Each structure stands twice: as structure tokens, then as C-alpha cells.
Amino acid sequence: MGIITELEAKVRKTYDTSREALKLANYNEQYSRKNNVKIMNITESPDESETSLTQTVYNILRTTADVELKQEDIIAIHRIPTKKGAIRPIVIKLRKNNAKSSIMKKQTPMKTKGFRLVDDVTKRNQGLISRLLLHPDIKNALFFNGSVFRQTTSDERIKFDIFDNVDNTISDFRNRNRKLKTGGSM
């Protein structure tokens, strides 16, 4: 084997290793956010403190969504940066997943009052979601249990990863399903 071939093999292996490391880093970052909820459109007051922000969130969740959080349910709460002039979203880090579930089940009543509840998604997963929404075969988005899923125009639910080629993943999914329906032969 020539030196160029050896170097090409090493570069390919390094490339594959770095992609796998980025996938794992994204997974770990998303996992660390699994009990986080982002709330959009809560007006910011000039003298807002963590205590007043916590009280505001408690009150909105209680009156708008009929969710009673206990003080010990919240580990941390703060606003995060956004576009200039927009209301900064609030991230709540909750101690337990059942507290997050009770909040996320109330998306509809919150939305009718002008607030939006969303999962705290990593930048890479958000990029994947944005990329998928541009695809003509993708109907809507679903973020569930740390993974990005998309529903195709033919109502198939497919799991995607950050480096997936959307066309190839859809094609592979359909080919697997066709094989399963025909008993493994085509």
C-alpha cells in the first residue's frame, strides 16, 4: 500500500471518528437538557430578578395552564439571548421529568393565552429540524425523548440524526419497510 493510500485511509478514519464524536457530544448535550422547558413570550420587566422571574412563571403556569409547581421542582431559571428587540425566552431546568411532562401537556392552553412551550433543543438538533422543514417530503416536526423525528407527506415517522442525508434516510426507511411487508424479498 502506497503512502498516499495510507494517508487517505487515516484521514477517512479521523473524519469518521470526528463525526461520531460530534454525534455523541450532541446526544450528551441534548440529554443534559432533557428536563428543560423553554417558555416564549413572557414579557420582561426592567427590574426582573431570578426570584421575580420564578414567581412570574409560577403564576402564569398556575393561572393559564393549571400547573402547580413546587419550589423544589425548579433547579434553575433564566432568560436566554435572542434577536435584538424580541422578548427573551425563559429556560426552566426542572428536577424531575414528570414536572416537565405536566407542563408540556399544557401547550394548547398556554398557546391560547399567547405563550409558547417548547423543548430546549441543541443548536445542532435545531439546525437539523430547520433543514428537514425545507425538504418537500417532510410534513411536520416531532422532537421526542432526545431525538428528532419527522413525519413525511405519506405519514411515515422517521428518526433522523444530525449528519443524515435526508433523501437517503427517507429512501432507506421506505426500502426497509417494503422488505418487511413483502417478507424480506423484493
Rounded distance, CA 10 to CA 137, Å? 37
pLDDT at residue 186 tops 60: no
Tell me the pTM: 0.82
Give the rounded percent of residues in the chain with a pLDDT score beyond 90.
69
Domain count, the chain: 2
**Judgement on whether residues 46 and 96 belong to the same structural domain of the protein:** yes
pLDDT tens, residue by residue, 33-61:
999 999 999 999 989 999 999 999 999 99
The residues pairing with 141 across neighbouring beta strands, listed in sequence order, are 150
**Judgement on whether residues 116 and 47 belong to the same structural domain of the protein:** yes
**Judgement on whether residues 114 and 140 belong to the same structural domain of the protein:** no
pLDDT tens, residue by residue, 162-185:
999 988 988 898 888 888 777 765
Range of the domain at 158: 124-181
**Judgement on whether residues 133 and 116 belong to the same structural domain of the protein:** no
**Judgement on whether residues 154 and 93 belong to the same structural domain of the protein:** no
Which domain-ending residue is among 70, 90, 120?
120
* Residue ranges in the chain assigned as alpha helix (H): 3-32, 50-65, 97-104, 107-112, 123-133, 166-181
**Judgement on whether residues 134 and 69 belong to the same structural domain of the protein:** no
Rounded distance, CA 156 to CA 151, Å? 5
Interval 81-91 mean pLDDT = 94
Q: Model confidence at 119, in pLDDT bands (50, 70, 90)?
A: very high
Tell me if 114 is assigned to some domain: yes
What is the number of alpha carbons within 13 Å of residue 161 lying toward its C-beta? 12
Q: According to the model, what pLDDT value does residue 185 have?
A: 55
The residues pairing with 149 across neighbouring beta strands, listed in sequence order, are 142, 159
**Judgement on whether residues 105 and 173 belong to the same structural domain of the protein:** no
**Judgement on whether residues 106 and 38 belong to the same structural domain of the protein:** yes
**Judgement on whether residues 116 and 129 belong to the same structural domain of the protein:** no
Do residues 130 and 121 lie in contact, with contact meaning Cβ atoms separated by under 8 Å? no
Rounded distance, CA 70 to CA 57, Å? 12
Tell me if 51 is assigned to some domain: yes
